[in-house]
Amino acid sequence: MVGGQPGNSPWTVSLRNRQGQHFCGGSLVKEQWVLTARQCFSSCHVPLLGYEVWLGTLFQNPQPGEPGLQRVAVAKMVCGPSGSQLVLLKLERPVTLNQRVALICLPPERYVVPPGTKCEIAGWGETRGTGNDTVLKVASLNVISNQECNIKHRGRVKESEMCTGGLLGSVGACEGDYGGPLACFTHNCWVLEGIIIPNRVCARPGWPAIFMRVSVFTDWIHKVVRL
Amino acid sequence: QRSPLNDFQVLRGTELQHLRHAVVPGTWQEDVADAEECARRCGPLLDCRAFHYNVSSRGCQLLPWTQHSPHTQLQRSGRCDLFQKKDYVRTCIMDNGAGYRGTVAMTVGGLPCQAWSHKFPNDHKYTPTLQNGLEENFCRNPDRDPGGPWCYTTDPTERFQSCGIKSCREAACVRCNGEDYRGAVDRTESGRECQRWDLQHPHPHPFQPSKFLDQGLDDNYCRNPDGSERPWCYTTDPQHEREFCDLPRCGSETRPRHEATTLNCFRGKGEGYRGTANTTAAGVPCQRWDAQSPHQHRFAPEKYACKDLRENFCRNPDGSEAPWCFTSRPGMRVAFCYQIRRCADDVRPEDCYHGVGERYRGSVSKTRKGIPCQRWDAETPHKPQFTPTSAPQAHLEENFCRNPDGDSHGPWCYTMDPGTPFDYCTLQRCGDDRPSSILDPPDQVLFEKCGKRVDRPDLKRSKLR
């Protein structure tokens, strides 16, 4: 996370590889399901032995025995529809919800976040020297319309993607944040509206950032969980 | 620090059955500390060629036969592992092959070997014993002949002949940097014996075979699980952690068979990516591979000839998760180049549909990953929620792709892969089809109780200034 500040995001999880290293973020959408980015995995059928999600901590490298830390093995991976750049991870068991671990709402199908809505991203990724490398950071961003976004991105932004406005400073997600949430506060609820995906450059000043629009895939998520 | 297990080759979750009921295997010895203790007991015994080790009961059963003995067969087992003496199961020889106990019985000239217990047509001085292993008519090297195992032949005009069994070093060559080397050399270039990958002594290490199933970390053979320049192993010498192995290279520096080269996207881990992206996802320019500043490293282009470490392009020479590079920024050693998009790994679409495909009536019956569809009227491998009777309007015929639930991502099916309940099909939207845009006026939003965040006291910002 470039810029931003230390913060709390109880639905943001840390994906750990076989060496226990953090490599991506994720969002807890059901007690046993995490939504993350396809970019985080080399294939839809990578052997998941040794991969875990860590929740309930603010630290990138929590000490063993840290109160609240939950480590759960990843049991299964389901790749999203073509072009979704999403993956659902089924955990070996449901996590325990508490003050440190919470679910985030999914948006209604095809819901479009109104421009100007205040949202935030969270992650333990690359800070590019903006500090607080070892704790979870959050950054506030405002949604802009795809139409406005396509001015800078020359029409490349798809309907299944959404944008937040470029800021003068360098603030935004970067490597290690992919898969994490773009959460927007709507009707007194935090809602998972976007998923952080790699942009051509991290936190480019003055450039809108592009996220996957979750509401286009809400039906797929419910279907996978149900089936 | 040599482990007695070094003389054994393991088959996990496998039992060796003897098919003649009259033959009784050894009794189970319970409470054996571990497989090493079992190996310690079997190793010195001339009539012990293998053993079962039961991980849960810590039981050990010594066996006088191996999988190459007559009337035996391997069987999947949920309770034990099979350890067999390498000399009896390795198909190549170490040094001059004096220890070879395999079952080759043909000379290099194609002559069948004469049984060692026979003195005809070629008389000789050898008497088969447990020590010299002169069994049946198998090739052996009782006189430590430098040419390796040999035998008397059944041709009276050709007294004896070498069997031409390859040395383990020659039996498998190294392609590229040897990531897919699966040979049976268990010595380093200085002659030190390799430590078993499934042991953490004398050198603890992160490469547990169960976590690196794709790296073939069998027994104590030379391997390359970390993208080193060639196969290596931890050594049994406590003073010497790890060392390269001296293995012959295969012909030309060709790319490992399994890789396809890509230029504008990367597939899998991107080991075949050969594009020209040369900045990290964070926009930091990459350091040239042939430079050692600002970051010193071991990835010299000439040592990774088939990894194409040209200029400062993003590459994946060591099997990391994605293409990466050393960065030109002193404070940031390496970073992934995730800005390179992943290649679509779906099977090419075979047909198209309109809308969301609810009225698709074609006969495509394969998912986008190429998995065959399950019949809609079948109950396995997945119990369907939609059947031809429960959803007559959807025309759920045979195992054709359909869209009984109006899934917005198109026709789908239950799949024949037990691990994948359903998936979308090798279909795409028809070119003339314009879906309604979701960017029309936003819908009303109602949320259940979730997404609540309790701002943690330990995080609450102090009001005092």
Please give the distance of CA A18 from its chain centroid, rounded to a whole number. 21
pLDDT value at position B411? 96
Residue type, A5: Q
Q: Kindly tell me if the per-residue pLDDT of B460 is higher than 60.
A: no
Q: Kindly tell me if the per-residue pLDDT of B441 is higher than 80.
A: no
pLDDT value at position A120? 96
Contact B438 A112 (CB under 8 A): yes
Contact A8 B453 (CB under 8 A): yes
Among B361, B350, B275, B260, CA closest to B314: B275
Contact A189 B451 (CB under 8 A): yes
Average pLDDT, chain B: 89
Span A88-114, average pLDDT: 94
Contact B283 A201 (CB under 8 A): yes
Q: How far is CA A81 from CA A37, A220, B410, B413, in A?
A: 12, 8, 9, 13
Which among A38, A175, A189 is the nearest to B336, CB-wise? Answer: A175
Contact A215 B450 (CB under 8 A): no
Query: Which chain B positions have a beta carbon within 8 Å of A66's beta carbon?
Result: none
**DSSP string over B70-122:** TTEEEEE-SSEEEEEEHHHH-SSBSTT-TT------B-TTSPBBPPTT--SSS
Among B89, B73, B75, CA closest to B20: B73
pLDDT value at position B464? 44
Contact B281 A202 (CB under 8 A): yes
pLDDT value at position B434? 74
pLDDT value at position B257? 45
Q: Kindly tell me if the per-residue pLDDT of B459 is higher than 50.
A: no
pLDDT value at position B456? 54
pLDDT value at position B450? 53
What band does B49 get if pLDDT is binned at 50, 70 and 90? very high
pLDDT value at position B259? 55
Span B406-428, average pLDDT: 93
A 11-50: CB under 8 A from B: 11, 17-19, 23, 38-44, 47, 49-50
Q: Kindly tell me if the per-residue pLDDT of A81 is higher than 60.
A: yes
The CA distance from B40 to B38, in Å, is 5
Contact A183 B451 (CB under 8 A): yes
pLDDT value at position A125? 93
In percent, how much of chain B has pLDDT > 70?
93
A 130-189: CB under 8 A from B: 145-147, 159, 174-175, 178, 183, 186-187, 189
Residue type, B255: R
Q: How far is CA B300 from CA B11, B52, B261, B328, B337, in A?
A: 37, 45, 21, 16, 20
For chain B, state the CA radius of gyration.
Answer: 31
pLDDT value at position B462? 43
pLDDT value at position B341? 86
What band does A66 get if pLDDT is binned at 50, 70 and 90? confident
What band does B331 get if pLDDT is binned at 50, 70 and 90? confident
pLDDT value at position B452? 58
Q: Kindly tell me if the per-residue pLDDT of B136 is higher than 90.
A: yes
Question: In B163-226, which ranges are E strands?
Answer: none
Query: Which chain A positions have a beta carbon within 8 Å of B448's beta carbon?
Result: 105
pLDDT value at position B463? 42
Of residues B77 and B254, more confidence is placed in B77
pLDDT digits (tens, 9 = 90+) for B75-93: 998 889 999 999 999 999 9
| Interface contact B350, partner A, CB < 8 A | no
Average pLDDT, chain A: 93
Question: In A31-167, which ranges are E strands?
Answer: 33-37, 52-55, 70-79, 86-91, 118-123, 137-144, 161-164
pLDDT digits (tens, 9 = 90+) for B209-248: 988 888 899 999 999 998 899 999 999 999 999 999 999 9
**DSSP string over A2-18:** BS-EE---TTEEEEE-T
| Interface contact B348, partner A, CB < 8 A | no
The CA distance from B398 to B392, in Å, is 13
**How many residues belong to chain B?**
465
pLDDT value at position B253? 56
Both tokens assigned to B434: 């314009």
pLDDT value at position B232? 97
In percent, how much of chain A has pLDDT > 70?
100
| Interface contact B200, partner A, CB < 8 A | no
What band does B364 get if pLDDT is binned at 50, 70 and 90? very high
| Interface contact B351, partner A, CB < 8 A | no
pLDDT value at position B342? 86
pLDDT value at position B443? 52
B 219-238: CB under 8 A from A: none
pLDDT digits (tens, 9 = 90+) for B19-41: 887 777 788 888 788 899 999 99
Span B393-417, average pLDDT: 94
**For residue B360, what are the contacts with CB-CB under 8 A and spacing of at least 6?**
B351, B353, B354, B401, B402, B403, B411, B427
